[in-house]
């Protein structure tokens, strides 16, 4: 089943898995260097990408659910878009999530290092709902099927509420929303470009 995934999605999952195994043996050294730290003495430019390949060493569920979402939604989008557009979308979402998190932390005057692929995953969720809005998604709890557009809308609204209220303070809710925002901007840009190509072809 894993081998049936398109190559970029498979490579992302494998890379995350390998890095996670390295984290387990690194004693926190990987997080010190490659997590997304708030703007300051520990922040480095590469962290806006590398944070997305790290996960919580104390919670296997963190990487499992992110990789499960990559498996469920990333493959379909890679087949639909092609490898180049898919990877561009994923990394733009990661960057948008990082930028949003840094801005929120700077405004709050505090913050903790951030790790996880969730910013990219939330962008993929938005992309999936955009292009496959009626595709049914079965929730784990409660086990209720719903169309992708509704699932992502409700999930995004929940993230906004949790971020604004400060509930689950250890979760970077605004990074998730930033990933969705980056994905939406990319889709709108592509749609404008595609319409421009069509008009140019007609005239």
What is the predicted pLDDT for the residue at 184?
A: 96
Q: Give the integer Cα–Cα distance in Å for 6 and 18.
A: 19
In this structure, what are the phi and psi dihedrals at residue 111, rounded to the nearest 5 degrees?
A: 160, 165
What domain range is 22 assigned to? 2-202
> Model pTM?
0.91
Tens of each residue's pLDDT in the chain, 203 residues: 667 899 999 999 999 999 999 999 988 899 999 999 999 889 999 999 999 999 999 989 999 999 999 998 999 999 999 999 999 999 999 999 999 999 999 988 877 899 999 999 999 999 999 999 999 887 766 678 889 999 899 888 888 888 777 767 678 888 999 999 999 999 999 999 888 776 766 54
| Token pair for 195 | 């319409």
- Looking up residue 80, the CATH number of its domain turns out to be 1.20.1540.10
What is the predicted pLDDT for the residue at 128?
A: 96
Q: Which residues pair with 138 in a beta bridge?
A: 145
Q: Which residues contact 101 (CB under 8 A, 6 or more apart)?
A: 36, 111, 114, 119, 172, 174, 175, 178
CB 34 within 8 A of CB 16: no
Number of domains in the chain: 1
């Amino acid at each position: 089943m894993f081998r049936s995934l398109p190559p970029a999605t498979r490579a992302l999952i494998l890379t995350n898995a390998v890095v996670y195994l390295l984290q387990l043996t690194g004693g926190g050294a990987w997080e010190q260097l490659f997590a997304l730290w708030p703007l300051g003495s520990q922040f480095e430019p590469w962290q806006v990408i590398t944070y997305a390949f790290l996960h919580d060493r104390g919670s296997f569920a963190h990487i499992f659910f992110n990789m499960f979402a990559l498996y469920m939604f990333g493959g379909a989008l890679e087949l639909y878009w092609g490898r180049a557009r898919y990877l561009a979308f994923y990394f733009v979402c990661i960057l948008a999530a990082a930028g949003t998190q840094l801005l929120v932390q700077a405004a709050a005057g505090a913050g903790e290092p951030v790790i996880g692929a969730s910013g990219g995953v939330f962008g993929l969720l938005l992309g999936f709902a955009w292009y496959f809005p009626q595709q049914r998604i079965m929730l784990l709890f409660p086990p209720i099927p719903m169309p992708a557009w509704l699932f992502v809308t409700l999930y995004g609204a929940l993230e906004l509420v949790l971020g604004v209220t400060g509930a689950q303070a250890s979760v970077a809710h605004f990074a998730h929303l930033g990933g969705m925002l980056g994905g939406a901007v990319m889709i709108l840009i592509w749609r404008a470009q595609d319409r421009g190509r069509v008009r140019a072809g007609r005239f």
